[in-house]
Amino acid sequence: MVASSVLGFPRIGGQRELKKTTESYWNGKVDQETLVNKGKELRSTNWKIQKDAGVEIIPSNDFSFYDQVLDLSLLFNVVPERYLKFNLSPIDILFAMGRGLQRKATETTEAVDVTALEMVKWFDSNYHYVRPTFSHSTDFQLGKFGLKPVDEYLEAKAQGIETRPVLLGPISYLYLGKSDKDSLDLEPLSLLPKLLPVYKELLSKLKEAGVTSVQIDEPILVLDLEESVRSLYKSTYDELSSVGLDLVLTTYFGDVRPNLDAIKGLNVAGFHFDFVRSPEQFDEVAEIVGDKIFSVGIVDGRNIWKADFAKASEIISKAIAKFGEDKVIVASSSSLLHTPVDLNSEKKLDATIKDWFSFATQKVDEIVILTKNAKGEDVSAEFAANAASIKSRTESSITNNPKVQSRLGEINESLSTRKSPFPTRLESQQKKYNLPLFPTTTIGSFPQTKDIRVNRNKFTKGEITAEQYDDFIKKEIDTVVKFQEEIGLDVLVHGEPERNDMVQYFGEQLDGFAFTTNGWVQSYGSRYVRPPIIVGDVSRPKAMTVKESVYAQSITSKPMKGMLTGPVTCLRWSFPRNDISQKLQSLQLSLALRDEVNDLEKAGITVIQVDEPALREGLPLRSGKERSDYLNWAAQSFRVATSGVEDSTQIHSHFCYSDLDPNHIKALDADVVSIEFSKKDDPNYIQEFSNYPNHIGLGLFDIHSPRIPSKEEFIKRIGEIMKVYSANKFWVNPDCGLKTRGWPEVRESLTNMVDAAKYFRDQY
């Protein structure tokens, strides 16, 4: 009969239990045993949710204390030597690779100072993975740091729950990695012959433990792959299948058709395809499956909208007609990692809007209902309720705003072009600001202290008045501005103490958004976000940031940056609508932000940063028309938001944690851009941006790590950049905003950074 399957479940806990315990461990408030036990508790809860709902194929090894790709690096001993010198426990090695580690020596422990590995976006999602780093000395071994997939399978089995372990496949694992800076001539995929025996050893141990089937993810099959990569699949899976386990090769996030030749005839038990993101691939992928299992990814693992049962059941029925009931699995399109845990925890959402949503726990129920329907069981009541919900959303006035739709017609080339080219603007800006060489700034936010969070919570609950809260925010701004002046920063920020999140803060002030109380999703490590939900056409009823920016400028003579989040990032870091194009949603946001940019300029804020860290994340995974169209409308959205200002107003933007192409950001025509750079150890990356025509800052320290770079480290880093970069175009700044760091780290790091900039001013 048709079976139900979940590809992965959120690991964070319904009340962010994983974050709280992990950060308590990092801060020395709980011991390792407490952390490990919390992991067991969360895994048990997740398995039980799925079993009680009636899911037949439940995943294991989808849990991680930090990142599932990093877990695999530890499992296979892909651990650079610098992390092995300090006699750390396996979990501390994991955390050191993920976030760096710096601590002073004590009577019983030696000093530790190691940087984190590079972290980049997981395909086109807002999840970040820690990139495996290989060298000529990489020695693949299994079991040196434990056998996590085996242990977690046995853990579930002991609770009476049979699971299907999840593994990232060997080709994707190597392809998504990089060569260490000392082994840049190494092609990671050349290590496949050394890695395969370790994978086979792992599969053998899983088989010995009682496993019969393994979900093995090869997500790179939705990318543009060269023939040299595609040709690896047959021999690789001939090897892996020889262990005797049923391997279900899993793809998601896109269209597999251009790589069908790589997987046609593979010696695996079955295939999984994502028919939410790419329903049009059905006929062609079905042709290569043969008599194997056909897993239909039909419940969206990337968004919060209810599945349309009528449309989903059509695809499931089509699969059953072709393959038969015993070969079809009804599944989530991808892991549910990218969705919040449970809609039932939302007590404040408008009932009408809430009825349109489905979080991970509800998606599990949807999978089971669709499976029951495919088996011929009576779920007519559930289908009727689903149809009513879909109809309600389609016809709602919340969704449709004729004024916003009409305003989109105003967008033309003139609206998205600055008045003068950059050289003319630069001359005007140099006269106005008279900045020194190597001007220093930060990306925007300063530490979000406990005091800030407590007062924000009091204001939200009505325990303090708006006036009291405004006074508190002003005092926080005073502190941040005074600190920046003391250490000698050149272009200041107000620190954003009033903001909860760089997208949520704006969404809360725009029409067309809805918000959750507990809709948390993991972004990386212990960093969780609560994405706003775009439920309708977007507009700005009033100014959003002018008050705080004007106050901050009033207490300093130095330039004060107005801080905004760009249209593409507001879109990508929200749960977007699935009923209109992302282009239309982005342009709606650009018009709202244009109004804000213009209001800031009118109020005297003439350095304005419009961040677009999600620009690269939104890039379609394959080259072609869809990608070129995206680059055009994404750049147009930014320019619409920023082009209504005078030449002397300086527009900044920021990008982080992506493999950027200079041409992508060149099209934005920002006056100054800042780019995450501290974890990039390929000298070619500097060279790629050396011809960028406008001004640029390559981020000099990793704000996601608690370690503090010395002045000498900053000087060395800037010196490397200056070998290929023009000093009169270079800005000095961190990688990203500082909200996740503590004040002691921020004070020392920024002071060292500014001192390094002053050192170079003396050299030029």
**Which of 201, 176, 204, 225 is closest to 73 using CA atoms?**
176
758 CB neighbour count, 10 Å cutoff: 14
Q: Which residue has the tokens 């003139």?
A: 414
d(CA 712, CA 113): 15
In 613-680, the DSSP E strands lie at 650-655, 672-675
Is 704 catalytic? The answer is yes
Q: Which residue has the tokens 């390094």?
A: 756
Beta-strand relationship, 3-5 and 328-332:
parallel
Structure tokens at 482: 């005074």
DSSP state, 725? Answer: S
Helix pair angle (466-487, 743-763), 10° resolution: 40
Q: Which residue has the tokens 């994978």?
A: 199
CB half-sphere exposure, 242, CA atoms < 13 A: 12
CB half-sphere exposure, 569, CA atoms < 13 A: 22
86 CB neighbour count, 10 Å cutoff: 17
Alpha carbon dihedral 48, 52, 55, 61, in 10-degree steps, equals: 0
Q: Which of 128, 652, 654, 704 is catalytic?
A: 704
Structure tokens at 132: 């495996």
CA angle 113, 74, 171 (to 5 degrees): 125
Residue by residue, what is the 3-state secondary structure of 348-380?
CCCHHHHCCECCHHHHHHHHHHHHHHHCCCCCH
**Which of 126, 504, 516 is closest to 357 using CA atoms?**
516
Secondary structure (3-state) at 107: coil
d(CA 165, CA 214): 5
Task: Report CA-CA distances (Å) from 530 to 111, 508, 674.
Answer: 36, 12, 25
d(CA 605, CA 564): 12
Structure tokens at 715: 């000087």
Measured between its terminal Cα atoms, the distance across the chain in Å is 75
Contact 172, 225 (CB under 8 A): no
Task: Report CA-CA distances (Å) from 122 to 100, 237, 617, 654, 657.
Answer: 20, 24, 9, 19, 10
Task: Report CA-CA distances (Å) from 163 to 47, 206, 211.
Answer: 9, 11, 8
636 CB neighbour count, 10 Å cutoff: 23
Task: Report CA-CA distances (Å) from 268 to 235, 243, 285.
Answer: 12, 11, 15
d(CA 95, CA 664): 33
Q: Which residue has the tokens 């920020």?
A: 493
625 CB neighbour count, 10 Å cutoff: 9
The b/e string for 141-165 (b: 16+ C-beta within 10 A; e otherwise) is: ebeebebbbbebbbbbeeeebbbbb
Catalytic site positions = 704
